[in-house]
Structure 1
Amino acid sequence: MSPRRRRCLVSAPALALLIASAGCSSADEGVGTAVPTPDGKVTELCRNLDKQLPKKVDGLERADPEPKSELTAGWGDPAIILRCGVARPPKMKDPEADGVTVDGVNWLLEEQDDGSFRFTSTLREAYVEVTLPKERAGNGVSPLTDLAAPMKEAIPKGIAS
């Protein structure tokens, strides 16, 4: 991480405890996954990422959401959802935002109102969002561990435009 950016990095066990202890509310299930619409350069990075994504994440088989796209992926049911080429989240401007580094990949951490968690990659040439439904949040950042190597391979370090 950049020395200019103040972040409290949370260890994987501590984050697992944080997520497991967070309050939950009912989720609206059955909602489709919105496909991002990045520019051509980011789309190519996302296509490269899609080719490298594992068949299993956190022990769950890949089961891509509808509509099918090289910019989205999913594992399990309820699914861990990855969306590549998303817009920069407004929360990234917040100097007090929570962040975590998992196997060399930096992520913005946002707890959602429905008890799910959204992680958005930082300091990469494309923003990649991973959503853990509340039912999958008990394992902390272990899904991000499975995604770290493909992220480092396909999405170079840098600042997304």
Structure 2
Amino acid sequence: MNIFRHRPYGLPALAALMIAAAGCSSADDAPSAAVPSPGAAAVRLCDRLDRVLPTKVDKLGRRDPEPASALTAGWGDDPAIILRCGVSRPARMADPEADGVEVNGVGWLLEQRADHSFRFTTTLRKAYVEVTIPAGRTGDGMAPLVSLAPAVKRAVPEGIAD
């Protein structure tokens, strides 16, 4: 007769740990974006923009970055197209040689970054809206701006941001 019994003390704890880890892993692959901290007027405009943003941009479904905020939005997976509303005025806007484009009635400052991504920031709007198109998604040019321009026009009036 064997007097030693093997009791699975560790198995319930291990199972609970595995269940907890599985529940947490889904957010780990979400895109991330720094949340701007604009004034109250820009926050109201950005809130309006968030409500009218398209569900798809350049055929990519909306997938907002972490941390969740009405000031940020995203489309696609890694690399995601990221929109941030209420950003500060880019210093490059003061440069008379800066590149700009107009897409469907919305003016944008164009900046190519060292990593070959593009950053576009609205011009002559009451709040600055920034859209970053990662290098892996630049093949379609400014197609994301075509999708976003109607929402920007509807939610953020023309003018000079504070």
Instruction: State the match for 2:45 in structure 1.
Output: 45
Deviation at 1:138?
0.8
Deviations 1:40-84 (A, max 9, x none): 010000000000000000000000000000000000011000000
**Counterpart Cα distance in 2 of 1:107 and 1:62:** 22
Q: Which residue of 2 aligns with 1:112?
A: 113
Which runs of 5 or more residues in structure 1 are unaligned?
A: 1-29
Aligned residue pairs, count:
133
Instruction: Flag the structure with larger Rg.
Output: 2
State the match for 1:61 in structure 2: 61
Instruction: List aligned pairs for 1:137-148, cutoff 5 A.
Output: 137-148=138-149
Identity, in percent, stands at 62
Structure with more relative contact order (C-alpha pairs < 8 Å, separation 6 or more): 1
Deviations 1:118-152 (A, max 9, x none): 00000000000000000001111110000011100
Aligned to 1:70: 70
Tell me if structure 1 keeps the 8 A contact 2:110–2:119. Answer: yes
* TM-score, reference length from structure 1: 0.80
- Where does 1:80-159 land on structure 2 (aligned, <5 Å)? 80-159=81-160
For the residue of structure 2 that corresponds to 1:88, the secondary structure is coil
RMSD: 1.4
Distance 1:33 1:143 in 2: 18
51 and 68 in structure 1: CA distance in 2 versus 1, 3 angstrom threshold:
same
SS at 1:41 equivalent: helix
Deviation at 1:31, TM superposition (A): 7.4
Residue 76 and residue 150 in structure 1: after superposition, are their counterparts in 2 closer, same or farther (change >3 A)?
A: same
Higher helix share: 2
The residue type paired with residue 133 of structure 1 is P
Query: How far does residue 154 in structure 1 lie from its aligned partner after superposition?
Result: 0.2
Question: CA–CA distance in 1 between the matches of 2:49 and 2:33?
Answer: 18
| Amino acid of the structure 1 residue aligned with 2:68 | K
TM-score by length of 2: 0.80
Task: Report the AA paired with residue 75 of structure 2.
Answer: W
Partner residue, 1:9: none
The list of structure 1 runs, each at least 4 consecutive aligned residues, that deviate by more than 4 angstroms after superposition, is none
In the alignment, the residues of structure 1 paired with residue 146 and residue 97 of structure 2 have an alpha-carbon distance, to the nearest angstrom, of 24
Offset at residue 32 of structure 1 (A) = 3.0
Decide whether the 8 Å contact of 2:88 with 2:128 is kept in 1.
Answer: yes
Give the whole-Å Cα distance in 2 for the aligned partners of 1:102 and 1:63.
Answer: 23
Tell me, yes or no, if the aligned pair for 2:31 and 2:64 is still in contact at 8 Å.
no
Q: Deviations over 1:88-146 (max 9, x none)?
A: 00000000000000000000000011110000000000000000000001111110000
